[in-house]
Amino acid sequence: MSLLFSPLMLGQLELANRIIIAPMCQYSAVNGQATDWHTIHLGSMALSGAGMLILEATAVLPNGRISYADLGLWDDKTETALANVLKSVRQYSSIPMAIQLAHAGRKASTRKPWEGGGTIAPDEPNGWQIIAPSAQSFNEGTALPSAMTSDEIDELIAAFVSSAQRAERLGLDAIELHAAHGYLLHQFLSPLSNQRLDEYGGSLENRLRLLLTVFDAVKAVVSPKMALGVRISATDWVDGGWDLVQSIVLAKELDARGCDFIHVSTGGLSPLQQIPVAEHFQVPFAKAIKAEVNMPVIAVGLITDVNKAEAILTQGQADAIALARTMLYNPHWPWHAAATLGATVKAPPQYLRSAPHAVKSPIV
């Protein structure tokens, strides 16, 4: 039996297989509100046969959006818009769905990638004042963030709690806290971006404090059936920055708090990063963390080959694999993987006759 197509428990949530669709920003919301594009995009992903679909990075505050077109979940309007999308998708798919709750920090207030992706100044249309642990820009010459005050940190924690409660009302199955890719929670973790002198900066214990406080606060308000996990960048790929040793300390702290999964990526914090991009280049970080924790570990990053994805699991390097761009390019990758490995996945009845004549249908 294929391990890739065996069940996996994330807390109390059971996944039919171990293929996770990773969050992918769509830059297609209006004032944080989901649109028809989200219905089309998520509908496509929801018919893929994957074990779980994680919605894109969803801002807990308006100033936490990467771009002015990012998805949000901070008020009744954003909640209602997303509810309408999920209602449409749920009519035709029972795939477990998670949401990635996020704040972009100093990487916020940007144009869409296809508009150049550059920072938008606070006094320009679609721009706003960005915030960060310390008044340090991501890139030289770009807008300077303001260092967060204690009140702003309290507001942020409360915003994560409120968005988590909204996510549960929406009937979502899991929450992933975004502490990766150089966004705000990651900025607090890394000594490169966190130069604070208070209880949130300096020592590793202090730099972990905000993420752990957010995790504890969210866990306290969601029901036990809601799987709660964290996505991290296991290294900044910059000397003197956040690294695997610190990531393992964090992972153990989360594991002890009852974290249901950890999703291991890398990079994104600094333009000085030197990333040795290659097939499966992030998997060793997942493997190292898996050796230290009990919770399931999700590996991600240039995983495209079916048999190699299976090997990552059979060799004990991770408990699940996540796909992002691969799924955009081939939304039925799990179907093809199931056919290769002699497994089956669920598909809508409208598609049951779709398998080529010479292939034993992997969809049921």
Task: Give the active site residues.
Answer: 183
| DSSP per-residue codes, 260-329 | -EEEEE---S-TT------TTTTHHHHHHHHTT-SS-EEEESS---HHHHHHHHHTTS-SEEEESHHHHH
How does DSSP classify residue 124? S
- Tokens standing for residue 146: 């303001």
The total of other beta-carbon atoms located within 10 Å of residue 242's CB is 30
Report strand pairing: 8-10 vs 261-265: unpaired
Instruction: State how far the Cα of 298 lies from the Cα of 145, in Å rounded to an integer.
Output: 32
The total of other beta-carbon atoms located within 10 Å of residue 64's CB is 28
- Tokens standing for residue 236: 């900044």
- Tokens standing for residue 278: 């290659």
Instruction: State how far the Cα of 141 lies from the Cα of 126, in Å rounded to an integer.
Output: 19
- Tokens standing for residue 208: 């972990």
